[in-house]
Amino acid sequence: MLKVVFCWADISGYMAACWRELQSLSDIEIFVIAFQARTETSFSDQLMQGIPCRLLNLQERQDANLIKTLVLAASPDVLVLCGWLHKQYRQLAFASEFRGTALIMTMDTPWWGTWKQHLASWFLRSYLQRMNSVVVAGERSWQYASRLGIQPANIARGVYGIDYDAWSPLLAKRLQSEWPRSFLFVGRYVPIKGVDVLVKAYQIYRSQVSNPWNLVCCGQGPLESQLQGQPGIDNRGFLQPTEMQQVWQSAGAFILPSRFDPWPLALVEAAAAGLPVICTDACGSAVEVIRPWYNGLIIPPADAKALAKAMLTLHQQYTDLSTWGRRSQQLAAPYAANIWASRWHELIHDVHPANKAKQNPSKLVNKHLT
C-alpha cells in the first residue's frame, strides 16, 4: 500500500472527485492537506466527505510546524506539493525528514515570457532539484516547466480532472426538449475573470437582436454590483456544486471572458455538460478543450465588441448548438476523474523508490536553464 499526501490549496468539487477515485484504488492510500474554501470561494467542507483530509483555516495554513507535523503523521511514500507559491508547503521539500520520500510538484501556470518568468528558473532551482516529477495542467504550463529547465522525461500532463460522470448526463437531458436560449457564466466576480467586459458585451449583444437570450451568472465577488439591475442578467450568486445541476442543464452556451486564467476547470466542466463555449485565449484549458467553430469560439481578452460578436454568432448559429455541445463533451471526456486517477496511479508508482530507483535530483533540472 503506497501512502500519498497531497498538500493543496483551496478545496473544490473537481479535485474532491479526483481524490475520491484515487482513494478507491486498492493499492493507494491518500491523505489531503488543503485550505478551507473561505477566501474567494465558499465551497462546503462536505465536498471532502469520505476523503481522509485535514482542512486548514486561515491561521493554520501559515503554520509551517503544524503542516509538517500533519505530513509526518501520515508517513507518506509520495508527497505532492501544489506549485511554489505557498511557502509553508515549499519548505517541506527541504525538510530532512522527507529525504526518503518521493516528491511531485504540480503547476498550472502558463508560459507568457515575462521577465519574472525568465528569472524564476534561478530562484526556484534548488526547490525544483528536489522533485522527482513535475505534473502540468496543459501545453502552456508544459512550456513553462520546460523553460524552468525540467527535462521533458520528468514532465507529466494531467494535474486536473473533473467529475465527468456528474456533468455528462446533462447533455442527454438538454436534448429531450428544445435547446435552451441562454448564456451562462460561472466564476468569481472579479476583474481578472472579465466580469466587467461580460456586462458591457452583453449590453451590446442585446442592442443587436430583437429577442436576446438571458445571461445567467453564478458566483460571488466585488464586482457583483455590476450585474445587479441589468436587463436580461440573472445573478444567482454562489451555488454549491449540488445546486448547479439544473443551472447547467438549462444553459444554451457557456461564456468565460477571463483576462488571465491558467487552466480554468469551469470551462472543462461546461464542455463535459455538453455546452458550446465562448472564451478568451487567456484561458489555458481552451488549448485542450475548445476548437473554434467546432465546439466554441475563442476571442481576445478585454474586448467587449469581440465578445458581443461571439454571442451574436451563437445566437445566429442556434440550430448548430446541439452539435457543438456533443463535440464539447467528447473533448472533455479525457479529463474524467477515473482517467485522472489512472494517470496519477501510474505516476505515483513510477516515482516511488520501491518501484523505480530514485532519480538523481540533479538530473531532473537541466544544467543550462533558459
Nearest residue to 57 via CA among 25, 90, 10: 10
Q: Which residues of 241-279 are buried (b: 16+ CB within 10 A; e: fewer)?
A: beebbebbbbbbbbbbbbbebbbbbbbbbbbbbbbbbbb
Nearest residue to 91 via CA among 76, 110, 71, 108: 71
Q: What pLDDT was estimated at residue 241? A: 80
Average pLDDT for runs of 10 along the chain of length 370: 96 95 97 81 79 96 98 98 97 96 97 90 93 97 96 96 96 97 97 98 98 97 96 94 91 98 97 98 98 98 98 98 98 98 97 62 47
HSE-up (13 A, CA, CB side) for residue 226? 20
d(CA 11, CA 45): 8
Q: What pLDDT was estimated at residue 366? A: 55
HSE-up (13 A, CA, CB side) for residue 332? 31
| Residue whose C-alpha cell reads 456533468 in the numeric block | 167
Asked if 57 contacts 36 with a C-beta cutoff of 8 angstroms, the reply is yes
**Domains of the chain from N-terminus onward:** 2-161+336-364 (3.40.50.2000), 164-334 (3.40.50.2000)
CA 261 to chain CA centroid, Å, is 9
Write down the H helix ranges in 50-133: 64-74, 87-90, 115-123, 125-128
Q: What pLDDT was estimated at residue 87? A: 97
